[in-house]
Amino acid sequence: MLGAVVMLGALAVPASAAAPAGQAGPVLPPASTQPATAPVASAVSAALEGPLSDSALGGSVGAVVIDVATGELVFDQDGTTPRSTASNEKVFTAVSVLSALGPDQRLVTTVTWDPTTSVLTIVGAGDPTLASVAAEGSSLGELADEVAAQVDPGTSIALRYDTSLFTGPAIAPGWDSSYPAMGVAAPVSALVVDRARIPGSDAREPDPALAAATMFAGMLGERGLAVDGPQPGTAIGSVIAETESVALATMVETMLTESDNDMAEQLAHLAGAALTGTGSFESGAAATKQALTDLGVPTTGLVSVDGSGLSYDDVASPSTLASVIATAAGTSSPPWSWPLITGLPIAGLTGTLNDRFLSGEAAAGAGIVRAKTGTLIGVSTLAGTVVDANGRLLVFAFMSDKAGDVALSRDALDRAATALAECTCSG
């Protein structure tokens, strides 16, 4: 029977019945229920033998499995040979930018005004989430509102845009020049709005900064301001408007879950800017190497030329990739590293794994495997975490650089991860 009625404003809510007597049970099993011994290497090897020898993987597979609780390497198949990372490069980008700026950092896009010259400048902060209209986070419309509230409508404004936070080439080594038109990735810029998407198309803006500034000019015009431009330039005057992004942790999680190439490149450039003062493909690569070295992760053979993994020039060993994830997943992980784990797609549920692990032998891995995917022509990678049948948390990195059919190679790697989930590998 229900208890008394509690009044919350105008709403009458029945009070809860008395709670049952006695001590509540645990929400999760205590850590002591986990097996005392680490997985046995021979058992892990037996579990992975079938799926990793699948002909769809082309006979060239590097694989590493680490027991997170002990840090012990429990499986190693050519684990120190560098291979193309594909989109698993984004794991390194996540570590690089999180270690440089921290998960709570927010990016502030500003507008400066010099009344003596009537020059208004929008200054790119490298924010990959700046939107034309946003319910949360940074908004170009918010900037326009703030400017319109402070500049006389009768003033003829010379609009400039400043992208000096990022320097160097806008297209990475190894990228095809058709990538923007194909919708693969936009040229990298410190000023981008709506993720550089062209409305009604999958294609990216060929000049994201100009597109963003042009949209801003239109918004100012809608608010009654007379605008000349936009033109590239350097910010002068004082800040009269600013808009703040969501936390960097949210960006990193989105970048990993969706495997967003454009977001990855801006985040990598931001890490490079934190290291050297300006963001570029070169400084981003240096920041990645520095971040992994600081973590104590082996970097032999590591080459990073972009932040997304679109370039075949990006290579790393399974040992490097698995070590990064194991460090972030362990009890001694750096306090800034948690978005790397929470951002990994969940098998059969989210992001780039939402349509995988749904049938056949891989179905048992749905909801248990969390992993970053990576695919290029001839390259198939999967790296992340899984809890085995004994309750041990394992980190794995599977990398094939001679993969055949994309769907078949993905299925083979999914079955390998599921084999770990089903493995009673502990002695």
Mean pLDDT, range 83-100, rounded to an integer: 98
Q: In this structure, are 98 and 185 located in the same domain?
A: no
pLDDT at 134: 75
Q: In this structure, are 390 and 356 located in the same domain?
A: yes
Confidence of residue 36 (pLDDT cuts 50, 70, 90): low
pLDDT at 15: 38
Angle between helices 261-276 and 248-258 (to 10 degrees): 140
Q: What percent of the chain has pLDDT over 90?
A: 87
Catalytic residue annotation = 87, 90, 259
Q: In this structure, are 257 and 388 located in the same domain?
A: yes
Q: What is the CATH number of the domain that holds 374?
A: 3.40.710.10
Whether 105 and 169 have beta carbons less than 8 Å apart is answered as: no
Checking if the pLDDT of 249 tops 70, the result is: yes
Q: What percent of the chain has pLDDT over 70?
A: 91
5 found inside a domain: no
Mean pLDDT, range 6-28, rounded to an integer: 39
Q: In this structure, are 405 and 304 located in the same domain?
A: yes
Q: In this structure, are 114 and 83 located in the same domain?
A: no
Q: Is 128 left (phi over 0), alpha (psi -120 to 50) or beta?
A: alpha
pLDDT in tens, 324-375: 999 999 999 999 999 999 999 999 999 999 999 999 999 999 999 999 999 9
> Considering only CA atoms, which of 326, 274, 262 is closest in space to residue 99?
274
Q: Which of 130-134, 177-181, 334-338 is predicted least confidently?
A: 130-134
136 found inside a domain: yes
Checking if the pLDDT of 228 tops 70, the result is: yes
- Domain's final residue, options 246, 265, 296: 246
Number of domains in the chain: 2
Tokens of 102: 């921290």
pLDDT at 152: 92
pLDDT in tens, 286-336: 999 999 999 999 999 999 999 999 999 999 999 999 999 999 999 999 999
pLDDT at 10: 33
Per DSSP, the three-state class of 276 is helix
Q: In this structure, are 173 and 231 located in the same domain?
A: yes
17 found inside a domain: no
- Domain's final residue, options 222, 246, 270: 246
Q: In this structure, are 290 and 405 located in the same domain?
A: yes
Torsion of CA 317, 322, 325, 327, to 10 degrees: -100
Confidence of residue 427 (pLDDT cuts 50, 70, 90): low
Mean pLDDT, range 168-189, rounded to an integer: 96
Q: In this structure, are 276 and 242 located in the same domain?
A: no
DSSP classification of residue 370: E
> Considering only CA atoms, which of 246, 242, 243, 281 is closest in space to residue 264?
281
Q: How far out from the chain centre does Cα 398 lie? A: 19
Q: In this structure, are 166 and 127 located in the same domain?
A: yes
Give the DSSP per-residue string, 47-58. HHHHHHT-GGGT
Q: In this structure, are 256 and 379 located in the same domain?
A: yes
Domain enclosing residue 156, as ranges: 108-246
Bridge partners, residue 389, by sequence: none
356 found inside a domain: yes
Confidence of residue 14 (pLDDT cuts 50, 70, 90): very low
